[in-house]
């Protein structure tokens, strides 16, 4: 069984992020991963095991006036990174647009559904490889001097000395965060597997916390 999780990289001040989480009664761990960079990891829903992160990230950007990125990794196979700013989605990265599942549309036609929600005819599957893999979009989210070449390679899933894009999705995610100069550990684990002994320790925010 592969790894799946949903997390948020938020920019801004902890007090601002705490305020948003408190206002919407969301339980989450918040851990610093760089200067004014925070991993926000909401608790998953019990039935689905999924944490809704896009709406929460957009609320955070409205208060902080800074961008935020949501990460969604599914079964170690594919990942989506969505950049939000000003309360809306502004960019979407997909690690492999060729990763699809069979789906039936409203007219009961069988189609192929990508991890980004795009539908494709059965006889016209999308090409393999990433989409939205522009390192210039993600570089401002990092700290220090971001290596654009390394970031681009990570977004494309390139293995050193081997240009085949075959990294596990969570490994590609970690490589992207490493290239951004961020601590990858808090952003590559779900709420249920948060490292409570991580240094610095995560802040556990619960509904009702003031």
Two structure tokens written together for 64: 């902080």
Our measurement of the distance from residue 72's CA atom to the centroid of its chain's CA atoms, rounded to an integer in Å, reads 5
Task: Give the residue extent of every domain in the chain.
Answer: 5-95+130-205
Percentage of the chain lying above the pLDDT 70 cut: 92
Give the residue among 193, 158, 152, 208 at the shortest CA–CA distance from 39: 193
Helices 169-179 + 148-156 axis angle, to 10: 170
Tell whether the model's pLDDT for residue 198 goes beyond 50: yes
At 96-141, the pLDDT tens digits run 987 767 777 777 778 777 667 777 677 777 788 899 999 999 999 9
Contact 128, 98 (CB under 8 A): yes
Tell whether the model's pLDDT for residue 159 goes beyond 90: no
Two structure tokens written together for 128: 């393999």
At 69-82, the pLDDT tens digits run 999 999 888 999 99
What pLDDT does 41 receive? Answer: 97
């Amino acid at each position: 069984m592969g790894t799946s999780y949903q997390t948020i990289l938020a920019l801004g001040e902890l007090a601002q992020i705490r305020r948003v989480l408190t206002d919407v009664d969301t339980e989450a761990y918040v851990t610093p991963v760089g200067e004014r960079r925070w991993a926000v990891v909401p608790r998953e829903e019990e039935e689905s095991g999924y944490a809704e992160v896009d709406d929460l990230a957009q609320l955070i950007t409205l208060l902080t006036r800074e961008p935020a990125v949501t990460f969604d990794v599914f079964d170690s196979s594919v990942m989506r990174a969505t950049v939000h700013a000003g309360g809306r989605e502004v960019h979407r990265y997909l690690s492999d647009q060729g990763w699809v599942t069979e789906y039936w549309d409203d007219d009961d036609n069988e189609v192929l559904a990508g991890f980004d929600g795009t539908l494709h005819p059965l006889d016209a599957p999308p090409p393999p490889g990433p989409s939205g893999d522009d390192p210039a979009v993600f570089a401002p989210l990092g700290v220090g001097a971001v290596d654009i070449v390394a970031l681009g390679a990570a977004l494309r899933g390139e293995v050193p000395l081997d240009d085949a894009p075959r990294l596990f999705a969570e490994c590609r995610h970690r490589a992207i965060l490493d290239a951004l100069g961020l601590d990858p550990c808090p952003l590559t684990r779900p709420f249920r597997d948060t490292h409570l002994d991580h240094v610095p320790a995560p802040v556990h925010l619960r509904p009702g916390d003031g």
